[in-house]
Amino acid sequence: MIRTLSLTLAFCAGFAGVARAEIEIEEVTSPGGIEAWLVEDHTIPFTALELRFEGGTGLDDPERLGAVNLMTGLLEEGAGEMDARAFQAAREDLAASFSFDVGTDTLRVSARMLSENRDAAADLLRAALAAPRFDPVAIERVRGQVQSILAQDEQNPRRLASRAFYEAAFGDHPYGRPDNGTPESVAALTREDLLEAHEAALTRDRVHVAAVGDITPEKLGALIDELLGDLPQTGPDLPDHVDFGLTGGIDVIDYPTPQSTALFGQPGLKRDDPDFFAAYVLNHILGGGGFESRLMTEVREKRGLTYGVSTDLVPLENAEFWIGSLASANDKMAQAIEVIRDQWARIASEGVTQQELDAAKTYLTGEYPLRFDGNGPIADILVGMQLTGLPKSYVTERNAFIEAVTLEEVNRVAAERVDPQALHFVVVGRPEGLEPDTAPRITLPEVVPPAE
Amino acid sequence: MLRRLALATPVILALPVLASTVSAQEAAPVIATGDAVTTYTLDNGLEVVVIEDHRAPVVTQMLWYRVGSADEPEGASGVAHFLEHLLFKATDDLEAGEFSATVAANGGSDNAFTSTDYTAYFQRVAADRLPLMMQMEAERMNDLALTDEDIETERQVIVEERNQRTESNPGALAREQMVAAQYINHPYGRPVIGWMHEIEGLGRKEVRDFYETYYSPNDAILVVAGDVLPEEVLALAEEHYGPIPAEPDLPERIRPQEPPQRAARHLVYVDERVSQPYVTRSYLAPERDSGDQETAAALTYLAEILGGSSFTSVLGEELVFERDIALHAGAGYDGMSLDDATFSLSIVPKPGVTLDAAEAALDEVVAGFLDTGPTPEQMERIRTQLRASEIYARDSVEALARRYGAALSQGLTVEDVGAWPEILQSVTAEQVVEAARAVFDPDQSVTLHVAPTREEEPK
């Protein structure tokens, strides 16, 4: 079954000019009953395909942390009759590209396939998804790669800050656990664990599909059934919602480096909160975007305390929070934090100006259509919308949601939701004037050298 | 294959977050084959390249200056990049920050980047905003204000940028030492961002001199890509850039060249923050030259065959799979460079394998390859992938714009860019072996061991 909904993306740019580009999103239901979104465009002879499986590393058994990640790394390491090298040689001969990647909420599969050999490329991708071999020799090789990455993470200030921040904010919830596992947990993973992780993480009821490019709805329907038809229908329960658990304070993690790295955050808003768009615009003014945000202006442009500072309003599947980051010399981090706290307090108490709101809206509505610039990026946007539960019409309605935000709303949300008392900083480095005893020290997992 | 070991390319951004032509009067544009590309040259010397892509009503304007860190005066490393930051500050008609604020207020985004050979500025906006973008970009080509206060604050930002990019990153520090050792006389040996002590000494005079000399229409290439028509872009370029006079004293672009390199160099970089020891080696290598790109094409194959794919390349197969002594092994070459480029090899040994043993194995595998040469299957696989990469490249008009801007600012022509895919398709196995024998000259090499402690290196 194929339903078509034609959407027009309006490119409104500030003043008078309005240009329009049509992207036509077709909803394709495969003969086997899997739904997909398609933008058919025969300009360039290839197709970009994006698959998202809900669950991701959130499906890790707490006793087997890192299993989903290691499993994902092994999807391209041999399938069906082919070992890793035979599989990759076949893929390279077709000049197809596949990438497999997993995060806390989703497992991502991105593919580009030339029209001239799409069927053969799809055969290979099907084998990787449905019949990965998990050869013992490949398991050991990729396990070594994961251990190497874990060892590098232990020496990376940004990763150390991130690990400490999420651990403190989410505790035992999957968001608080290390995505890639720990050196000990990864060392202990068995082939059986990987088979279970595969069975759990790639299921038909949790997949979302988007395709853009040189393919018809009929061909896409057949291709999806071939790719996904052999996967299990369903998997284990997904994780529950969790509150952001950090309250105001500063943690300092000692690390020998001339420049400190900081993450900071406070509770945020759910994606379907009626105030989400107001908060989204507010975040843009505070620390989103580029040179123009208040934090960039105050911390970088006026004082030269950092190369970059930014904030994001993050609605994950099961938690929502504001998060920001910056790096600053050890003798300047304390001042940078003071400036950020001041700005946090100022926007909460004074709100923003009409001029700032207008500038943010113009930027956000103008920038949105610029994202639709190629088969791959469009497929990525469409599959992301499906994950978030947005309708196809969102691409045309989204800018109206931004436009509808009023000054009164933004300032009410700033007063109600931005909380300088709740802002929590995790600093990695040797910042001067920030005493480690201002807050409890975070204990990091002990570093264990990679297995030999 | 999972890995996270980035060998950064020497292009740095302002903000973290990247031909034979005819005179306009003759109105007979040169159209290159393949891409929808049209070129013009204004009377003041500004080259204009228009790339059409009408799939979305979006345009990218990129202004490339033929000046980069390798054109800096001695003792003033980092001034090209410093100036790039300052172009976002005040001009005669724009306040500090107004440029980017105006781009944002028009729903667009902008940034800039500096490399050894070029400095480029770009904006991405709805196509009907192009006139305003040109007006502002032309303004800062000639009318930068350069106040002491802006220079002082921005120097601190750049110190933080260097802290973030380099000082906090042992891999970047190691690479900096290696590049410095590779180039004995050529300014490619200096880091693009500059040495810290020289950044700290940069002031108004250095920046002003650099700006006055190099920011001129006859030293620039305008690339406009997206939903535009060539004649309209030409008319706009004439209006906004046309009135800016050419710089009569633009120096000829001749840098100090390398003398014969007569000694292999061996470096050991020790940093306690290194979690994963590795060996990397670079060789001086020829770059793509106008009308002479065949050797560079053969070296492109050589890099792909030796180390392109983690699974099927010679180094990957032999060191990661067969001998099982490495987590990763690779090779790299980018021929896009005004002067001598480098060809690199690297190996990340498995725990328990010493760096000396890893280096010896790397050498054995390369020597073995020189004996046998590439197989027909290897040649065909790379040929297919290079052909496909041209199809995939058409999906990003921005990437095409960068390709032309980089080429034209590094001594190539629109024709050279147009000819490159065909030259790549015609490379033979014999050419690959010949190029390999020439490039793997130990006397022109630098070998670097990166380790957390001296003990890793029992001699």
Distance separating alpha carbons of residues A253 and A159, to the nearest angstrom: 12
Classify A443 in phi/psi space as left (phi over 0), alpha (psi -120 to 50) or beta: beta
Looking at residue A23, what is its pLDDT?
Answer: 81
CA-only gyration radius of chain B, Å = 23
Looking at residue A327, what is its pLDDT?
Answer: 95
**Cβ under 8 Å to B: A residues 5-44:** 11-15, 17, 19-21, 41, 43-44
Task: State yes or no: pLDDT of A448 exceeds 80.
Answer: no
Record the tokens describing residue B167, joined without a space.
Answer: 């000082």
**For chains A and B, what is the number of CB pairs under 8 angstroms?**
227
Looking at residue B441, what is its pLDDT?
Answer: 98
Record the tokens describing residue B287, joined without a space.
Answer: 């770059």
Burial environment of residue A240 by CB neighbours within 10 A (0 to 12, 13 to 18, 19 or more): exposed
Task: State yes or no: pLDDT of A4 exceeds 90.
Answer: no
Distance separating alpha carbons of residues B134 and B244, to the nearest angstrom: 13
The partner residue sitting opposite A259, judged by closest CB among B104, B167, B392, is B167
Residues contacting residue B431 through CB under 8 Å, at least 6 positions apart: B294, B295, B297, B298, B301
Residue (of B421, B411, B431, B359) closest to B389 by Cα position: B421
Looking at residue A447, what is its pLDDT?
Answer: 34
Residue with tokens 């490039």: B439
pLDDT tens, A307-355? 999 999 999 999 999 999 999 999 999 999 999 999 999 999 999 999 9
Give B26 to chain A, closest Cα distance, Å. 32
Record the tokens describing residue A6, joined without a space.
Answer: 């034609």
Whether A256 sits inside 8 A of B273 (CB atoms) is yes
- The third-level CATH classification (topology) of the domain covering A2-228 is Cytochrome Bc1 Complex; Chain A, domain 1 (3.30.830)
Q: Does B84 qualify as catalytic in the annotation?
A: yes
Residues contacting residue A424 through CB under 8 Å, at least 6 positions apart: A168, A169, A246, A247, A248, A249, A250, A251, A264, A265, A266
A159 touches chain B (CB under 8 A): no
What is the sign, positive or negative, of the torsion defined by CA atoms of B411, B12, B195, B348? negative
Give B159 to chain A, closest Cα distance, Å. 8
Distance separating alpha carbons of residues B15 and B12, to the nearest angstrom: 9
pLDDT tens, A125-150? 999 999 999 999 999 999 999 999 99
Q: How confident is the model at residue A58 (pLDDT cuts 50, 70, 90)?
A: very high
- The third-level CATH classification (topology) of the domain covering A249-429 is Cytochrome Bc1 Complex; Chain A, domain 1 (3.30.830)
**Lowest mean pLDDT, pick from A85-89, A169-173, B18-22, B243-247:** B18-22
Distance separating alpha carbons of residues A351 and A410, to the nearest angstrom: 7
Task: State yes or no: pLDDT of B416 exceeds 60.
Answer: yes
Concatenated DSSP letters of B82-108: HHHHHTTS-BSSS-TTHHHHHHHHTT-
Distance separating alpha carbons of residues B283 and B456, to the nearest angstrom: 24
Concatenated DSSP letters of A201-246: HS-GGGEEEEEEES--HHHHHHHHHHHHTTS-S--SPPPPP-----
Please report residues of A whose CB lies closer than 8 A to that of B124: 370
Count of alpha carbons within 13 angstroms of residue A152, beta-carbon side = 19
Task: State yes or no: pLDDT of B17 exceeds 50.
Answer: no
Looking at residues A37-41, what average pLDDT do you find?
A: 96
Looking at residue B4, what is its pLDDT?
Answer: 46
Looking at residue A434, what is its pLDDT?
Answer: 87
Looking at residues B266-272, what average pLDDT do you find?
A: 96
Distance separating alpha carbons of residues B157 and A311, to the nearest angstrom: 19
Task: State yes or no: pLDDT of B142 exceeds 80.
Answer: yes
Whether B1 sits inside 8 A of A376 (CB atoms) is no
Q: Do residues B427 and B301 lie in contact, with contact meaning Cβ atoms separated by under 8 Å?
A: yes
Looking at residue A436, what is its pLDDT?
Answer: 53
Whether B385 sits inside 8 A of A92 (CB atoms) is yes
Residue (of A428, A432, A282) closest to A347 by Cα position: A282
Question: Residue A422 to residues A268, A321, A322, A434, B277: CA-CA distances in angstroms?
Answer: 11, 11, 11, 18, 41
Give me the percent of chain B exceeding a pLDDT of 70.
Answer: 91
Residues contacting residue B128 through CB under 8 Å, at least 6 positions apart: A13, A17, A19, B57
Looking at residues B123-150, what average pLDDT do you find?
A: 95
The partner residue sitting opposite B128, judged by closest CB among A17, A43, A258, is A17
pLDDT tens, B294-335? 999 999 999 999 999 999 999 999 999 999 999 999 999 999
Please report residues of A whose CB lies closer than 8 A to that of B2: 73, 142, 145-146, 149
Where do the domains of chain A lie? 2-228, 249-429
Distance separating alpha carbons of residues B288 and B304, to the nearest angstrom: 17
Residue (of A180, A192, A105, A98) closest to A143 by Cα position: A180
Task: State yes or no: pLDDT of B230 exceeds 70.
Answer: yes
Residue (of A18, A19, A21, A17) closest to A8 by Cα position: A21
Strands (E), B310-370: 326-333, 341-349
Looking at residue B105, what is its pLDDT?
Answer: 86
Looking at residue B86, what is its pLDDT?
Answer: 97
Whether A21 sits inside 8 A of B276 (CB atoms) is no
Q: Do residues A52 and A386 lie in contact, with contact meaning Cβ atoms separated by under 8 Å?
A: yes
Looking at residue B107, what is its pLDDT?
Answer: 87
Looking at residues A89-108, what average pLDDT do you find?
A: 96
Looking at residue A373, what is its pLDDT?
Answer: 86
Q: How confident is the model at residue A435 (pLDDT cuts 50, 70, 90)?
A: low
Angle, CA of A273, A279 and A281, to the nearest 5°: 130
Count of alpha carbons within 13 angstroms of residue B266, beta-carbon side = 5
Residue (of B332, B317, B363) closest to B175 by Cα position: B332
Residue with tokens 């009408």: B54
Domains A2-228 and A249-429 are alike in CATH topology: yes
Please report residues of A whose CB lies closer than 8 A to that of B122: none
Task: State yes or no: pLDDT of B232 exceeds 50.
Answer: yes
Average pLDDT, rounded, for chain A: 91
Residues contacting residue A311 through CB under 8 Å, at least 6 positions apart: A283, A286, A287, A288, A293, A295, A322, A323, A324
Task: State yes or no: pLDDT of B252 exceeds 80.
Answer: yes
Our CA dihedral for B391, B392, B393, B394, rounded to 10 degrees, sits at 60
Residue with tokens 């942390």: A65
Task: State yes or no: pLDDT of B284 exceeds 90.
Answer: yes
Whether B104 sits inside 8 A of A451 (CB atoms) is no
Out of B47, B84, B198, B359, the active site residue is: B84
Please report residues of B whose CB lies closer than 8 A to that of A154: 275
Through-space distance between the first and last CA atoms of chain B, rounded to whole angstroms? 32
Give B254 to chain A, closest Cα distance, Å. 33
pLDDT tens, A356-407? 999 999 999 988 988 888 999 999 999 999 999 999 999 999 999 999 999 9
Looking at residue A291, what is its pLDDT?
Answer: 79
Residue (of A214, A160, A182) closest to A327 by Cα position: A160
Distance separating alpha carbons of residues B173 and B270, to the nearest angstrom: 10
pLDDT tens, A292-315? 899 999 999 999 999 999 999 999
Angle, CA of B340, B342 and B348, to the nearest 5°: 170
Residue (of A256, A414, A428, A425) closest to A337 by Cα position: A425
Q: How confident is the model at residue B2 (pLDDT cuts 50, 70, 90)?
A: low
**Cβ under 8 Å to B: A residues 286-315:** 289-292, 297, 300-308
Give me the percent of chain A exceeding a pLDDT of 70.
Answer: 91
Give B275 to chain A, closest Cα distance, Å. 5
Residue with tokens 């099907």: A126
A270 touches chain B (CB under 8 A): no
